[in-house]
Each structure stands twice: as structure tokens, then as C-alpha cells.
């Protein structure tokens, strides 16, 4: 084993607070590193350098197991049955337009946020655009860009409650790629003796699996209900009946149009009909009224039929109201304002801006905090660097409100002109004049007036005691 891998082993030992006998097993695991990471031999997991993760007795035991059948963990593919009789899973739920809209709004909002890697610089912080982690997040994998990575991970986390990405490291332990893994290929186990989570990840191409500790898996999760399992709750599973009611309503509407049940009238009879006459009536009815193009037609039947006008409609049957109620329920579940789902019944120009701010504060900000906490795994233990999203751009008001805010910040000396220009996307003032902080004379302390900026001399007519000469 190369020197870099041995050094990485020593750094990994500091992460596991287990008994000393486990450390011996971890060193012994070096002899079979290639077997542990055989899953990465598949094209979908291949990296420039083979990643390295040490072993424990628990990982040795798991590696010797049969390839895991993950279908048994997640149930049948069609999902569980709701009280409405509909089978609901994460795919069928997306057929509801409200669910699809919520999924897009949240995932696309997160992926479009600007972000930076910062390093503490004693007083304040400095952006590090050339930091290795910044470069990695901008291009996490040859298959997708940074924005696609954030959008895909957030979509899975929003809908499933969990999103996983394997951190592929080089021989020195530095992250070089991030590979998203579908939830159906991941199983989490909690080791009570070590007090750690282990992720068993199956390869859909090779049929092999690998066991990684939590430090080598990015796990973005929703609210965690089972702390030992460490998985987030899926809104689709939790609110299965709500989504099932919505899909049942869609199925009813589709069947209504397909079978031509929305008619202007029918023909009835008091006579007993033979099988042949009944079938002829049925066929005539279907030809005259089946399908959308024939909706509203009148059937011509046999056997002493009488015409009876009908006024049945989906609105009369309150199905449209039910679908509207489902949209409101979905809005509550995902905490997305109704106007973002194109439901503008109660929206005005005044409250839409306020609702947009609430969306940033109560919907996006919790996800942002989860991302920032999880991405610390990409930095070394001794690093003073960290990752931060920028939500300021979403909280900006209109032009008039921003102008007032910037004027206040400039007049109090909180920001200089270059900082305000940077907020608005302009370049700094040439010559460095924009870096000077301005302040009103009547707000400046008498003893320091003129010395706050550039070491200017105190005017002769102002003394330290506030008296004039």
C-alpha cells in the first residue's frame, strides 16, 4: 500500500472512537482494499484514484454477506395502498401537478442559489473561489454539473426524505468526486458498540456492494423521526392517503371523460330487454358518446326508450373542489405558497412578496442549513474553511426598497460604496475610492472626528472635551 494510503489511514483513525481491537482490524483491512472497493470498478463509480476507507469488524462481516436485495427493504415497487384504494409511491405521487410543482420549486430554488467557500481570517472571513472543495462542488462528477448535482440531490431529499452521494477520495483522503446514489441502493445500519452509522451501498451494474462510514457519504435528509436509523421521513409515505385521494380523483376524471359519462341526456325504458337488445344499446351508446370528442352527445337506443335530460358535471359532484383541496394539502405538506403552484385565488400584489419571503425563511432556509452542515464532511478536521449558501438575493426587495436600504447603510458607514456596488452586481470604483467608508459628521465622536478614515487630523476647532477654542 502506498504511503498516501497509510497516511490517510492514520487520519481516519481519529474519526472512530472505538476500542483498540477495532484499530487492528482496520489496519488488517488494508490488505483487501481492492475487494472492499470493487463496487467502484463499475463505470458509474470509477474515479481517477481508487478511494480508500478503513475496515472494522462490522464492515468485514457485512462484506461477506450475500448481495442485498433492496426491494425487500422498500416494499413492492407499486407502493403501499392508500385508504382510497390507490397504490401510492414516489412515482405516482409526481403525477399530481401540485406535487410536481412543489418538487421543481424547491429543488430548482436550492440549485440556483449562489454559494461560496470561506476561510476564517482572524477578523472576518475571506472567500476562497480556488479552494479544492469549491472546485469540486462546481464540477462534482463528469456526468453532471454542480447545479445539476444540487438539483438532483434536493429533489430526492424533498420527495423521499433522503438523498445520498458517495464521496470518492484519492489516496490522500481528499475528495475528488461526488456520486449521487439512488435511495433504493442504500441501506443504513447503526452500530451501537461504535456509536456510528454505516451505509451499505449496492451497485446496480456489478451486483456488488460496499460498506462506508458516515464520513464518506453525503446524506441530505428531511426531519429525522428514528434517530438510531438516521433516515428522514418521506412526505409521500407519511401522507399516503392525501396523495392517494388526489390520484383517485384524477383517475375518476379520466374515466369520466373516457367513458362518456358526462352526457346531456339518456334514454330509459320500463320494458325488459333481451341480452341482444341490451348489448346493441350499449354499443350504440359507446359509439355515440365514448371519448372526449363525443362528450355531450345523445345515444340512439332500441326497445321503447325514453329520453331523460341530465345535468351531471364534475363540479356538481364536487370533484373539482376535492382536487382544489388536494392542492392546498400538498402546499401545506411541502410548505410552498399557493401562488407558486399557480393558485392565485387569494393572492394579491402585496401579500405575494410577503409569502415569497416566508418561503425563503421557512422552506428554503431549513434545507440550506442541512446542506451546510452535511458539506463539512468535505473539509479536513483541521480546516478553517466552510461552505455557505447566499440567501440574500432571494430576500431582496424591489428597486425602491433596495435604494433606501443601501442609502441607510452608506450614511451610517456600515457599508462602503464598493460593497454596495458588489451587492448590486457592479464592479468596484477605479482607484480604490469606493473602499472609503462615509459617515455623517453629526454622528462622529468628537475626539475621533476625521481620524476614522485615512488618519486625517482632528480639526483645530474641536477638542477632546467637546469645547471650542
With a cut of 80, say whether residue 126 has pLDDT above it.
Answer: yes
> pLDDT tens across 167-222, in order?
999 988 889 999 999 998 999 988 888 888 899 998 777 778 899 988 999 999 99
Least confident of 12-16, 126-130, 356-360: 12-16
> How big is the chain by its Cα radius of gyration, in Å?
32
Contact (CB, 8 A) for 198 and 59: yes
Q: What is the mean pLDDT of the segment spanning 378-407? A: 80
Selection from 308-312, 362-366, 409-413 with the highest mean pLDDT: 362-366
Q: Cα 457 to chain center, whole Å?
A: 55
Domain locations in the chain as residue ranges:
68-161+234-259+313-395, 263-311, 396-438
Which letter, b or e, does each residue of 78-112 get, where b requires 16 or more Cβ atoms within 10 Å of its Cβ? ebeebebebebbbebbeebbbbebbbebbbebbbe
Angle, alpha carbons 347-350-356 (nearest 5°): 75
Which of these, 45, 79, 76, 58, lies nearest to 202 by C-alpha position? Answer: 45
- Give me the pLDDT at residue 347, please: 72
* Cell matching residue 46: 470509477
Q: What is the mean pLDDT of the chain?
A: 75
Sort strands 231-232 and 186-191 into parallel, antiparallel or unpaired: unpaired
Dist. CA 438–CA 420, nearest whole Å: 12
At 287 the pLDDT is 75
User: pTM of the full predicted structure?
Assistant: 0.68
More confident residue, 283 or 428: 428
Enumerate residues 6+ apart whose C-beta is below 8 A from 372: 386, 387, 388, 389
> Exposed, middle or buried, 77 (CB in 10 Å: 0-12/13-18/19+)?
exposed
Cβ atoms of 224 and 231 within 8 Å: the answer is yes
pLDDT recorded at residue 103: 95
**Cβ-contact 232, 161 below 8 angstroms:** yes
pLDDT average, residue stretch 372-398: 83
Name the range with the highest mean pLDDT among 22-31, 241-250, 394-403, 454-463: 241-250
Hey, which of 249-263, 276-290, 307-321, 420-434 has the most confident mean pLDDT? 420-434
| Residues 339-383: tens digit of each pLDDT | 899 888 777 767 787 888 889 999 999 999 999 999 988 987 667
Amino acid at each position: 500500500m502506498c504511503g498516501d494510503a497509510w497516511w490517510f489511514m492514520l487520519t481516519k483513525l481519529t474519526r472512530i472512537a472505538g476500542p483498540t481491537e477495532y484499530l487492528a482490524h482496520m489496519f488488517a483491512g488494508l490488505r483487501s482494499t481492492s475487494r472492499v472497493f470493487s463496487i467502484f470498478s463499475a463505470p458509474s463509480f470509477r474515479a481517477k484514484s481508487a478511494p480508500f476507507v478503513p475496515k472494522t469488524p462490522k464492515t468485514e462481516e457485512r462484506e461477506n454477506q450475500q448481495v442485498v436485495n433492496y426491494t425487500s427493504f422498500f416494499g413492492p415497487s407499486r407502493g403501499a395502498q392508500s385508504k382510497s384504494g390507490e397504490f401510492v409511491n414516489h412515482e405516482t405521487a409526481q403525477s399530481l401537478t401540485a406535487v410536481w410543482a412543489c418538487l421543481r420549486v424547491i429543488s430548482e430554488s436550492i440549485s440556483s442559489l449562489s454559494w461560496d467557500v470561506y476561510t476564517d481570517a482572524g477578523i472576518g472571513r475571506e472567500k476562497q473561489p480556488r479552494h479544492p472543495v469549491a472546485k469540486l462542488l462546481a464540477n462534482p462528477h463528469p456526468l453532471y454539473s454542480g447545479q445539476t448535482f444540487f438539483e438532483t440531490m434536493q429533489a430526492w431529499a424533498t420527495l423521499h426524505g433522503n438523498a445520498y452521494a458517495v464521496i470518492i477520495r484519492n489516496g490522500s483522503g481528499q475528495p475528488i468526486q461526488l456520486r449521487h446514489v439512488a435511495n433504493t441502493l442504500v441501506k443504513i445500519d447503526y452500530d451501537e458498540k461504535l456509536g456510528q452509522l454505516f451505509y451499505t451501498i449496492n451497485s446496480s451494474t456489478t451486483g456488488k456492494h460496499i460498506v462506508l462510514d458516515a464520513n464518506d457519504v453525503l446524506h441530505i435528509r428531511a426531519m429525522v423521526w428514528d434517530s438510531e436509523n438516521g433516515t428522514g421521513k418521506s412526505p409521500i409515505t407519511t401522507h399516503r392517503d392525501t396523495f392517494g385521494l388526489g390520484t383517485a380523483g384524477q383517475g375518476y376524471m379520466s374515466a369520466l371523460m373516457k367513458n362518456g359519462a358526462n352526457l346531456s341526456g339518456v334514454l330509459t325504458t320500463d320494458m325488459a330487454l333481451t341480452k341482444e337488445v341490451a348489448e346493441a344499446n350499449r354499443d350504440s351508446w359507446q359509439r355515440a358518446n365514448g371519448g372526449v370528442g363525443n362528450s355531450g352527445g345523445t345515444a340512439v337506443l332500441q326497445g321503447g326508450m325514453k329520453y331523460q335530460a341530465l345535468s351531471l358535471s364534475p363540479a356538481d359532484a364536487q370533484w373539482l373542489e376535492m382536487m382544489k383541496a388536494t392542492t392546498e394539502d400538498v402546499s401545506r405538506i411541502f410548505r410552498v405558497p399557493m401562488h407558486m403552484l399557480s393558485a392565485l385565488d387569494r393572492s394579491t400584489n402585496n401579500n405575494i412578496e410577503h409569502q415569497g419571503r416566508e418561503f425563503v425563511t421557512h422552506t428554503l432556509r431549513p434545507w440550506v442549513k442541512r446542506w451546510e452542515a452535511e458539506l463539512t464532511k468535505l473539509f479536513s478536521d483541521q480546516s478553517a474553511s466552510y461552505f455557505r449558501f447566499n440567501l440574500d438575493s432571494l430576500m431582496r426587495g424591489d428597486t425602491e426598497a433596495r435604494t433606501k436600504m443601501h442609502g441607510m447603510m452608506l450614511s451610517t458607514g456600515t457599508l462602503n460604496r464598493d460593497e454596495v456596488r458588489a451587492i448590486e452586481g457592479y464592479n468596484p470604483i477605479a482607484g480604490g475610492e469606493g473602499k472609503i467608508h462615509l459617515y455623517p459628521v453629526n454622528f462622529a465622536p468628537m475626539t475621533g472626528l476625521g481620524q476614522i478614515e485615512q488618519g486625517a487630523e482632528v480639526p483645530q476647532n474641536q477638542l477632546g472635551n467637546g469645547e471650542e477654542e
